[in-house]
Amino acid sequence: MATEVKIPAMGESISSGILAAWHVKDGDYVEKDQPLYELETDKITSEANAEVAGVISIKIAADEEVDIGQVVALIDESASAPAGGETSAPAADSEKPAESAPAAPVAASTAPAAGKVDPVATLSPAARKAAEETGVNPSAVAGSGKDGRVTKNDILEAAKAPAPAAAATPASAAPKPQATSSTAERETRKKMSPLRRKIAERLVQATQEAAMLTTFNEVDMSAVMKLRKQHQEKFVERHGIKLGFMSFFTKAVTHALQAVPQVNARIEGNEIVTQHFYDIGVAVGTDKGLMVPTLRDCDQKGFAEIENDILAYAKLARDGKIQMSDLEGGVFTISNGGIYGSMLSTPIINYPQPAILGLHNITERAVVVNKEIVIRPMMYLALSYDHRLIDGKEAVTFLVKVKEAIEDPSRLLFGI
């Protein structure tokens, strides 16, 4: 009996995706709940696990576009597990070399020994495409993949390597003109992932549909840094997690939204919808693009709950296991470019949300306090907002409320 492996439903707005990678090979014996493949859509990247145990027959290659509900493999449940109870190991990533020592180069005219895998005949789609683009002969490349397979990385490295030195020419021979580098050596092309395409579409949509404006302020981080240092040890001891800056800003934003409700609204057609809940999106950078998981009911959560939520969502996003429900329903977004060293930026709103707060790097600067020049750890804040909905007065007031809450965190305790 064979069980079909189908692309599962990912949400009403998702109809297709890219089968980014297989974690098993055709003919492997897989166990129930073993990760099979990675699916990349325009919103999330996720893994799918085997529903049954058996021998898998792969029907769709990696890097192919697939539809929701499409059969991508069959699992033969009647097949027995291999002797010794060994099951398949995850397939070697076609994009990265394996850690084992490189195999010897394969000559073009030499057939593989009996029982051995032909490293050229088993080229992955990504490696085959790289060979076509670079003009590298895979038969002359030392394969670093499993069983000596030639990977995409092997092809690209071979393309970068200098050509072997030619035999010395007689002194009387005229020197030949140096060949120019091919286009493939000077640049590479890669198809945009569905997630990157969606990010691009959303950013363009935000700039086209909203009258976006950015206002700035700066905040003295001394009080928050002192408070963290004073209570960090006991906070970790009690909650098992560090107290970070993001929980302070999340609570400060919640406080500011309560004080300036015009910022906690959105435009739908000819109507303004005012929201009376405080679900704050926190931007998380991953190797596949930016994701914005939503922290629910921040007005009802303490610092420890917010820190736990942020860490949990960040791990899910980076592991490709975040769900659509985790990304939906936010009323406002916080983006912290400071962790990458950004000093100042104008963030683009996460449409249809009306505003986004950009945080930046903390640097010690000379500032005037009580008519004296002192050194303080300062951060620039940037609030981008939809000017159709939010006037300058409300935007500046909101930003000042955030600034006041960070510079005097006790305000968060009393709601002032």
The catalytic residues are: 387, 391
Which residues touch 229 (CB under 8 Å, ≥6 apart)?
A: none
Which CA distances in Å does 22 have to 19, 125, 175, 289? 8, 12, 50, 21
HSE value, Cβ hemisphere, 13 Å, CA-based, for 396: 3
Helix H or strand E encompassing 17: strand 16-22
Q: Residue 64 corresponds to which amino acid?
A: E
Strands of the sheet containing 16-22, edge to edge, are 45-49, 35-40, 16-22, 64-67
The answer to whether the CB of 74 falls within 8 A of the CB of 2 is yes
Q: What angle do CA 240, 293, 303 make, to 5 degrees?
A: 35
> Mutual orientation of helices 222-239 and 303-318 as an angle, nearest 10°?
80
- 11 Cβ neighbours under 8 A, 6+ residues apart: 43, 324
Alpha carbon separation from 7 to 54, 65, 215 (Å, rounded): 18, 11, 45
Angle made by CA atoms 18, 95, 291, in degrees to the nearest 5: 50
> What angle (nearest 5°) sits at the alpha carbon of residue 391, between those of residues 339 and 213?
45
Backbone angles phi, psi at 93, to 5 degrees: -65, 125
Classify residue 207 by its DSSP letter: H
Q: What is the largest CA-CA distance in the chain?
A: 91
How far is Cα 377 from Cα 361, in angstroms, rounded to an integer?
A: 10
